Structure 1
Amino acid sequence: MSAAASSASRPAAIPQTGVAARRAIRSGEWKTGTSGMAPGYVQGNLAILPAALASDFMRFCQLNPKPCPLLAAGAPGDPHLPSLGEDLDIRTDVGRYKVFRNGELIDEPTDITKHWRDDLVIFALGCSFSFEDALMQDGMELRHITNNTTVPMYRTNVPTTAAGPFHGPLVVSMRPLKPADAIRAIQITTRFPAVHGAPVHIGKPELIGIKDIDKPDYGERAPMKDDEIPVFWACGVTPQSVVATVKPEFCITHYPGCMLVTDRKNSEFAIM
């Protein structure tokens, strides 16, 4: 997961379903991040790659299910993911995108129709917005949501398992929690393996290569109280970071915080 944009341009009525969210985005009515949209519905990280790299990236996701929980993959040239939404069109239904050529950012459009190619393959990956919904339903405060900031994310010294050209360090997101809440958070998020699952580390950030908890590599600082500890989850920025390292001749990702909103419910992915 990554950060939401400013809420200043949000319409008064927040879309309550996945299809309503996508229509609002497609029409231009909603022009900001998707945090808070369609509560209870799964949102996804996005990676779009040429077919020549698709099998290696699929294997990378399979080998690294915590940071890369695969929700769906498309066919070459097909901009639709019917398993996630009947009317879903990946070219228009994400609020903002990042387009790269040979590792260099070339565009940040709100519509990628002009960039679409017949060899592109969509990968939708699970997002921590889903398990955050479950934590908040249990009454937990999430500092970045309270402060209307981006969740802090950090590159670690923990390697991912390589597949073809794809390799790189695990990226984690952090939420400050009281110890009792941290235990409860483990119990809750363990039920959501399709959206990052349980934490990968608790406390002592230096043990996973984080030198300064107040200086995240992505997102914004989340102030910690004296009675709290840092809790780290595998983060969906990992595959974007890895793709950036590979520098493919062409790729598209979502803009941080502007996620793909689906018609699937978070409850569908919970293990009871």
Structure 2
Amino acid sequence: MDDAATLQRFETGAALRAACRAGIWDRPTSGLAQGFQQGNIVILPRALADDFLRYCTRNPKPAPILGVSEPGDPSLPTLGADIDIRTDVPRYRVFRDGEPAEILTDLNALWRDDFVTFVLGCSFSFETALLRAAIPVRHIEAGRNVPMYKTNIETQSAGPFGGPMVVSMRPFTPADAIRAIVLSSYLPQAHGAPVHLGDPSAIGIADIATPDFGEAPDIHEGDVPVFWACGVTPQSAIRHARPPIAITHEPGHMLVTDLRADIG
């Protein structure tokens, strides 16, 4: 994060979406528009939408549903009056036959009348509660993207979608870890309580210093690593399903909605 002026500039989801739409902002969204829910996105052809919906309902920890669009409609009026999913995410990741093919800052040239958009809850949404409780969030302090890891925790499959869970990690002192766990549990639409804490090898992470997505963690001596289910998990499911085309957010680059993410 650059400075307090950046935070103030993007105090709302609408302000951040406008900056994305204008091509002004193409960076991660952690710490921005505090108090507003952020969302992971998955865009699929209509023929795969029912299977993916079932995948999400079977895996609510990594894929809590915030909203689903009508086929071909780029708006999501239940999440924000002016949302245009083709332009309002900082960066998009395009998959072809299940493999990442390109990164874009808008989808205008790719948009199709059969695309269905899913918006899934994001752990960035509970970071406001941590910051307000004076709990340090290290990746925000360091101006980095949150570290994310593939695990050995298998999700429940639906149709062609399946594969391992991805988690995000935040390191805390033991006392702050307890408070972070309690606060995050109040926001199930932002993944809720963590799925693991402590030894990363217990969930299949060989090297915590080298995440699969995001940036390297800032871990202090005595810290406890805490792992939350992550909305990048559906990207693993897309690799498993290998659809001809699918679109997601670039990890860490979220759609920021107008829904509130306040606790209490």
Q: CA deviation at 1:224?
A: 2.3
Q: Which of these residues, 110, 113, 119, is aligned with residue 118 of structure 1?
A: 113
Tell me which residue corresponds to 1:85: 80
Q: Which amino acid aligns with 1:37?
A: L
1:198 aligned onto 2:198: no
Q: Give, in whole Å, the separation in 2 of the partners of 1:229 and 1:37.
A: 25
1:179 aligned onto 2:174: yes
Measured on the aligned residues, the alpha-carbon RMSD in Å equals 1.9
Q: Which of these residues, 91, 96, 99, is aligned with residue 96 of structure 1?
A: 91
Q: Give, in whole Å, the separation in 2 of the partners of 1:61 and 1:53.
A: 13
Q: Give, in whole Å, the separation in 1 of the partners of 2:176 and 2:31.
A: 22
Cα 1:40–1:13 shift into 2, 3 Å: closer
Tell me which residue corresponds to 1:243: 238
Tell me which residue corresponds to 2:141: 146
Contact 2:20 2:89 (8 Å CA) reproduced: yes
Tell me which residue corresponds to 1:44: 39
Q: Give, in whole Å, the separation in 1 of the partners of 2:7 and 2:184.
A: 31
Matched residues, percent identical?
Answer: 54
| 1:47-87 C-alpha deviation (Å, 9 max, x unpaired) | 00011110111111111111101100111111111000111
Tell me which residue corresponds to 2:163: 168
User: What number of residue pairs does the alignment pair up?
Assistant: 263
Q: Which amino acid aligns with 1:110?
A: T
Q: Which amino acid aligns with 2:146?
A: V
Instruction: State the TM-score, normalizing by the size of structure 1.
Output: 0.91
Cα 1:167–1:91 shift into 2, 3 Å: same
Larger displacement relative to structure 2 (229-238 or 16-25): 16-25
Q: Give, in whole Å, the separation in 2 of the partners of 1:218 and 1:32.
A: 14
Tell me which residue corresponds to 1:157: 152
Q: Which runs of 4+ in 1 moved over 3 A?
A: 10-13, 104-107
Q: Give, in whole Å, the separation in 2 of the partners of 1:55 and 1:24.
A: 32
Contact 2:7 2:31 (8 Å CA) reproduced: no
Q: Give, in whole Å, the separation in 2 of the partners of 1:158 and 1:142.
A: 25
Q: Give, in whole Å, the separation in 2 of the partners of 1:44 and 1:133.
A: 14
Q: Give, in whole Å, the separation in 1 of the partners of 2:256 and 2:96.
A: 26
1:34 aligned onto 2:17: no
| 1:211-235 C-alpha deviation (Å, 9 max, x unpaired) | 2222222222213222211111111
Contact 1:77 1:119 (8 Å CA) reproduced: yes
Structure 2: runs of 5+ lacking an equivalent: none
Q: Which amino acid aligns with 1:150?
A: N
Contact 2:86 2:111 (8 Å CA) reproduced: yes
Instruction: State the TM-score, normalizing by the size of structure 2.
Output: 0.93
